Amino acid sequence: MAKSKDKNIIDRIWDFLASVKLAIIVFSLIALTSIIGTILEQQASPEKNIQVISKLFGESLAPTLYRIFDALGFMDMYHSWWFVTLLMLFAANLLVCSIDRFPSIWKLVKEPIKPLKEEHFKAIPIKREITLKGKTEKVKETVGSVLRSEGFKYSEASDPGGHQFYWEKGRYSRLGVYITHFSILVILVGALIGIFFGFKGFLNLPEGESFGVAFTKTGELTPAEISERRIIFNALEISGGDVSMAARKLGVEESHLTARMKKLGMMPLGFSIRCDDFDVSFYGRSDMPKEYSSLLTVIDNGKEVLKKRIEVNDPLRYKGITFYQSSYGIMPDSSSFLFIFRTTSKTGVSETLRVRQGEKFLIPGTNIEATVTDWSPALSFDKDGRAFTYSEMMNNPGAQLEINENGKTYKKWILERYPVTWRLQNGHIVELVDIWGAQYTGLQVRRDPGVWIVYLGCATMSVGLFIAFFMSHRRLWVRVTTEKGNTKVMVAASANKNREAFERKIDKMVALLKEGGK
């Protein structure tokens, strides 16, 4: 007794999860609730959303509403328990529904078409019946040739009552829907793998430096934690990114170090990565950026193993970790910058020089002495010819030189992008090539072992959708029987897609039969 009751409950749950009604309800719930997350900014500061809420519902209600919405998880709703539950319900629905229906579809797909019993002709969606004069044998021949001319490669069967032609195409297209549904599950599995076994982090890598970790947290660290992070970071740098070596250096257990790093939002890469150069190119003379790029070198076990210049749509991959160009910025301390000049004297002697700010240097081939006294990431001149910095980005870097020529001293700005500023008073040329070490490249760092599963799911889903919508399973039966001296031809046909088109084709064929039968 008790057992069958149990079974009933399980059956009922199964039926509930297999029902298309549930699918329709879940579709609308996901669609409707998702809207909330597009209106309230997700994972944003409370002030921002209180502002949004007061724009929509008025100032007075905003704080209360914010508290209610926050309790409901609206401020990070795509990760809230109820939204995740909805997604899981969706996946369960899809899975159970597919399992539930699969056997009958598989039977249909596995079993080739068979001759149709005469009494079943009535139950087929498209049916025609004509009576032709003449011998059954002759009509059979006509039917055969018309079918062939219409492109139906039929099979034949005879039974005591009559003769039958039958044909089908696209039986396997019935699987398209299942491929589609199954792919959605594959995509979800891939996404879960990414969430559980991958990480997302960032790395602000100064030109010339190499890091062995990526960071997964920005704010929310106490000053003590920040200094701890600094110590671990340095230990890792000395050990070339090797965590166990760093643990030995710090005198702690490796497991302890790993746990601390996790807490501090540090993700060891297992190798280190160095930025050799960061560069922005612009459209012509404008400040419209054309491309950001970083020359990166991967150092594994002390050896340089990979070098690549990455761009915004062209990341670097090594050992399952991908580095994307995502932002850039300027280092606060200019004492370590290298100013790179190319000088050409009047006599044509050309040389490249690397100097630091404040360092005296001699322009080759001359007795002119120069010192870098100031610099700017983006220099422009106002109406009165005074220099000013118009942007915090390296849009048009410039270096100010103090030049000492035969006891005469003057200052001069040299701009990387304006050749007119390169010429000194007596005709020598000093070109600013780059201010190296001034910028850091902002890299997005990700490991996602599930991404290929997601892509695989996307690919099979596309195939599945194409089959589901653009291919159909078409069947045709033509039965020829003798009836009162005449010959009766019964036609039955079905198509699971675009029936009208198939019906037109059948009607054309029937018309040809009538003609041929005259």
Partner 1 sequence: MDSSVFFGISTVAYILAMITYITYIAFKKHGVGVAATTITITGFVCQTLAILLRWKEFYDISQMGILRSVPITNLYESLIFFVWCLILGYLVVEFKYKNRSFGAFVTPVAGLALAFIDISGMSKEIQPLVPALQSNWLLVHVIMSFISYATFALSFSTAMMYLIVTTERKTEASYIFWSVMLGIFVIVLGALGLDFLKFKVAGMKPEALIKSYLFKATFFSDSSIVSILSYIAAFVLLFVIWRYGYILKRIIETFNISASTLDEITYKSIAIGFPIFTLGGLIFGAIWADQAWGVYWSWDPKETWSLITWFVYAFYLHARLLRGWRGHKISVVAVLGFVAVIFTYLGVNLLLSGLHAYGGLE
Q: Using CB under 8 A, which residues numbered 10 to 29 contact partner 1?
A: 20-21, 23-24, 27-28
- Cα separation, 410 vs 391, whole angstroms: 26
Residue 197 or 455: the one with the smaller Cβ distance to partner 1 is: 455
Q: Using CB under 8 A, which residues numbered 66 to 105 contact partner 1?
A: 78
- Work out whether the CA dihedral 307, 312, 317, 320 comes out positive or negative: positive
DSSP state of 117: P
66, 86, 74, 92: which is closest to 36 by C-alpha? 74
Q: Which does 93 bind (CB under 5 to 8 A by kind): ligand HEM, partner 1, none?
A: ligand HEM
Min dist CB 194 to ligand HEM, Å, is 20
- Cα separation, 46 vs 44, whole angstroms: 6
Min dist CB 29 to partner 1, Å, is 9
Stretch that binds partner 1, among 261-269, 307-315, 349-357, 425-433 (CB under 8 A): 307-315
Stretch that binds partner 1, among 7-15, 286-294, 296-304, 423-431 (CB under 8 A): 286-294
Tokens of 483: 């009836």
- Cα separation, 507 vs 6, whole angstroms: 54
- Work out whether the CA dihedral 125, 129, 135, 138 comes out positive or negative: negative
Stretch that binds ligand HEM, among 86-94, 229-237, 355-363, 432-440 (CB under 6 A): 86-94
Interaction between residue 94 and ligand HEM (CB under 6 A): yes
Tokens of 290: 């054309």
Stated length of the chain: 518
Residue 265 or 464: the one with the smaller Cβ distance to ligand HEM is: 464
- Cα separation, 209 vs 437, whole angstroms: 9
DSSP state of 43: T
List beta partners, residue 432.
341
Stretch that binds partner 1, among 106-114, 247-255, 282-290, 372-380 (CB under 8 A): 282-290
Contact call for residues 243 and 253 (beta carbons, < 8 A): no
Q: Using CB under 6 A, which residues numbered 454 to 483 contact ligand HEM?
A: 465, 468
- How many residues sit in the footprint of partner 1 (CB under 8 A)? 52
Tokens of 285: 């003379």
Contact call for residues 327 and 317 (beta carbons, < 8 A): no
- Cα separation, 486 vs 483, whole angstroms: 5
Stretch that binds ligand HEM, among 156-164, 173-181, 264-272, 506-514 (CB under 6 A): 173-181
Tokens of 70: 């926050």
Name the site residues for ligand HEM (rule: CB under 6 A): 20, 23, 90, 93-94, 97, 101, 105, 177, 180-181, 184, 465, 468
Name the site residues for partner 1 (rule: CB under 8 A): 20-21, 23-24, 27-28, 30-31, 34-35, 37-39, 41-42, 48, 52, 55-56, 78, 191, 200, 283, 288-292, 311-315, 322, 324-326, 444-446, 451, 454-455, 458, 461-462, 465-466, 468-470, 500
